Chain A
Amino acid sequence: MKKQILFLALLTSLVVRAQQPVVNGSFQLDAQAYVTDAAIGITDSALAGQRSGFNGFGNVVINWGDFRAGMRYEAFLPPLRGFDPRLEGNGFANVWLNYRTDFAEITAGNFYEQFGSGLLFRAYEEWSLGFDNSLNGLKLQVYPTKGVVLKGVYGSQRYFWQPYTRNSRGLVRGLDADFNLNELIPERENAPWRLSLGMSGLSKYQRDADPIYVLPENVGGWAGRFTAGWGNFILAGEYATKINDPGAVNNFIYREGRAALASLSYATRGFGAVLQLKRVDNMGFKSDRTQLGNALDINFIPPLNRIHAYSLTGKYPYATQVNGEMGLQLQLNYKIPRNSLLGGKYGTSVAINFSQVNDIVRQPVNDTTPIGQDGSEGYKSKFFAVSDHVFFRDLNVEIDKRFSSRLKGVFQYMNLHYDIATLQGHAGEEAVEAHIGLADLTYRIDTRKTIRMEAQLLLTKQDLGDWAALMAEYTIAPKWFVSVSDQYNFGNPDNAMRKHFYTVAAGTNRGATRLALSAGRQAEGVVCVGGVCRQVPASSGLTLTFSTSF
């Protein structure tokens, strides 16, 4: 607490002395009151006495000339159901100071940072997942010349509310260099091509006190990347590798880790295309080798899948498989011109997206060691070999069309293959094959009043069977909205489980402030952001959300 008081005093003195400090920040509060609802399996024992959940934060950043300082208070009292119970607690989770000159910038305290696309290192925070792997330490950024950025990070990662003590978890230290050749080489500033290169190295230290395994105390990794542009094309690639890093995630195998990403995109007026490829092999990287789940991740494997925003298209989201996956995504966007046969008066947008993720091929390292045996090399794997085992496939087509000045619609079809046994740990369950369709119509009644209706249908023979969802939302701009929705699991193979999950919500927006209240049921599911997921248990009750920023 002393630290926080000192920090506040320092901040106050900065503000007092400052001529024109700029302060900004945000606050959010998510509170739920839970009730028992035997029909969907929420009994007293399932709630285990938890009648309420509360997640909240307040974040303030002060800019004062070359200085910046920020702090974030968080409270999870206790966390909402579905969030990691280790989050329970309150306090200043994030406190930092930053000083910047034209040549260099230093940050002390808790900070976020990313090298390249994050294959080797990404410290970030995702409120909706309760995820935060910020580093607590120091970060130095140097700008030696135009077009060059050097970064160094050193610290320990956040682990819920557990303070770092000697050997309680690992330390992370990393360096990154980024070169923008068009800026670095003066005569290339206006060249038709654009090229930037980057490289990074990172090492974690965690002591070995294990009586069984001989463990590496220092695990290093490196990554190289490039982005090249020519005309309407952009080609980018990144490759990362790390040395032997046995841990709970890979079942203590000593194989090196590798990950590669590549993307090619093309954009012109009315048309865009992106092709992305990735290969991940034993690339789970944590600052504590004993951890599973999302805690203490050092790196981040970007997902190559469309992020679906609707409730049923998002019902089976992809969870990144750090131990091995090969993925491909192709996204095509086309705007059919106005006043054409298909475009109509207002034009029509068509988006086609295909993604597929398969397992990698693993072969035994020798005749006597099973694949993945702990305390061995684990397996061998050919770089370009793709396994027949499909984790995930999503083909979706979306049409956005405006019919008149008052009516517009979004129509989507999605064809899904989802290996629920791997992606959600439902061992032995058959992969979900689903057809999902939706229509989302928005009708503007007058300049202030809008009504939006959503209808969705998910058809599958696996998992919980078919679902339908309906939603209607009435908005009186700019302040009020009210909505009713229902998800109905009409095709559940168990007749007794064919339940409705209805919700009524209302809220108000005042500038950057939003207050919403909803009541009803939430179906069990999985929430994923960027391939990082958390399970959401079914719940019933009242939810209050408040958020504001300034």
Chain B
Amino acid sequence: MKNIAILFVLLAAIIGSGCDHIEPPYKQQSGQVGTADRKVLLEDFTGHTCVNCPTAALIAHNLKTLYGDRLIVMAVHAGYFARPQSAPFDADYRSQAGEAWDQFFNISANGNPNALINRQKNNTYWHYPPGSWSTKVSEAMQSEAHAKIELNTSYEASTRKLGITAKTTFLTRLQGNFRLQVCLVEDSLVSAQRNNDPNAGTTPVISQYVHRHVLREAVNGIWGEQILSNPEAGYSATKSYQLNLPAGYNAQHCAVIVFVYDAETYEVLQVEEKHL
């Protein structure tokens, strides 16, 4: 019996030491900050019939509140849950690039919502579930900035002509080929969204859901274009684009997102966003 008593004490001690009781407040007052010139891209793969997606969008929104301009969120509507269906789910926010990325990074096959974070590979997978976004974004924020992007846009409302100039400057010497991707996003698109989280809105459908940061199209092709190979520190490349803002896009809600990535690993080195 004595041995058993010892065992009980041992068990209690081990379990006791393996416990972190957290007292309120459960949320931190201020977030961790990384290097000021490092920005992070979170691509939220979503769809209007995905019931868990509003909760994920809320997580992205909270992170955006925490990091401000340093976190750039792009909602990519792709895959099964993004397909247009009978009203009220007849909106179609899919894009050629979004569908191609969804297939390539194998996102919706693993379910929605899931995100790419700086297109960094998670060992063997690309996607991160929403519960991991804040940790992964925080990590990405701490990483070194190897490039900076100076992004300028010009927009003429009468002709709907949009000019984009992106100057990428490498801050360190890097090996590899680097590509520039330019995207057009539109914010505050209102249409129905399925939802099962009362904290994110009405269930089962939010009829007037505000879709944020919706990827509309990739301006310079699905995989962008090559800008530099094996750049030395200080090397830069400037690219300019002219396009007509498609009818139906509300210019006041549109923004340009530009990112530079490693052509081999797909990892995003730097990202920038500018509203029209």
Contacts and interface: CB of A to CB of B under 8 A. Distances in A.
Contacts of A293: 111
Interface string A158-200: 0011110100100001010101000000000000000000010
A511 to B, nearest CB: 39
A415 to B, nearest CB: 26
B20 A177 contact: no
Of B12, B20, B51, most buried by chain A (CB within 10 Å of CB) is B20
B123 A220 contact: no
A244 B110 contact: no
Interface string B14-50: 1111111110111110011000000000000000000
B11 A212 contact: no
A379 to B, nearest CB: 12
Contacts of B199: 251, 370, 372-374
A288 to B, nearest CB: 8
Interface in A266-296: 288-293
B103 interface: yes
A291 B131 contact: yes
B134 interface: yes
Given A173-B18, A212-B62, A251-B199, A162 B4 contact: no
A376 B131 contact: no
B23 to A, nearest CB: 9
B32 A211 contact: yes
Given A214-B28, A291-B129, A48 B109 contact: yes
Interface in A456-511: none
A385 to B, nearest CB: 20
Nearest to A208: B135
A160 to B, nearest CB: 7
Given A217-B20, A219-B19, A292-B131, A212 B27 contact: yes
Nearest to B49: A427
B77 to A, nearest CB: 16
B123 A168 contact: yes
Of A173, A210, A221, A376, most buried by chain B (CB within 10 Å of CB) is A210
Contacts of A205: 18
B248 interface: no
Given A212-B134, A428-B204, A290 B129 contact: yes
Nearest to A221: B15
A290 B133 CA distance: 8
Of B18, B106, B129, B204, most buried by chain A (CB within 10 Å of CB) is B18
Contacts of A202: 15
Nearest to B16: A220
B244 interface: no
A150 B4 CA distance: 10
A389 B3 CA distance: 48
A173 B15 CA distance: 9
Interface in A222-261: 222, 243-244, 246-248, 251-252, 254
A494 to B, nearest CB: 11
Contacts of A252: 131
Contact of B19 (A211, A218, A371): A218
Nearest to B67: A211
Contact of A48 (B11, B103, B123, B129): B103
B56 to A, nearest CB: 10
A215 interface: yes
Contacts of A222: 15
Contact of B51 (A48, A211, A220, A427): A427
B138 interface: yes
A375 to B, nearest CB: 4
B124 interface: yes
Given A86-B110, A177-B11, A291-B129, A254 B196 contact: no
A283 to B, nearest CB: 16
Given A199-B11, A427-B204, A244 B196 contact: no
Contact of A203 (B18, B21, B128): B18
Given A216-B20, A216-B22, A425 B51 contact: yes
B92 interface: no
B203 A427 contact: yes
Contacts of B24: 254, 377
Contacts of B14: 173, 175, 201, 203
B200 to A, nearest CB: 10
A86 B62 CA distance: 29
A144 interface: yes
A291 B129 CA distance: 7
Given A203-B15, A214-B22, A289 B28 contact: no
Interface string A139-157: 0000010001010000000
Given A209-B135, A421-B204, A428-B203, A248 B26 contact: no
B250 interface: no
A427 B22 CA distance: 33
30 contacts: A48-B109, A84-B110, A86-B125, A160-B124, A162-B123, A173-B18, A177-B7, A209-B135, A211-B138, A212-B31, A213-B26, A213-B28, A216-B21, A219-B19, A220-B16, A220-B18, A220-B19, A243-B19, A248-B131, A248-B132, A254-B26, A290-B129, A290-B130, A290-B135, A293-B111, A373-B199, A421-B196, A421-B204, A425-B196, A427-B51
Interface of A: 48, 84-86, 89, 144, 148, 150, 160-163, 165, 168, 173, 175, 177, 179, 199, 201-203, 205, 209-222, 243-244, 246-248, 251-252, 254, 288-293, 370-377, 421, 425, 427-428
- The 6 tightest CB contacts between A and B, nearest first, are A203-B18, A248-B131, A428-B204, A290-B132, A427-B204, A290-B131
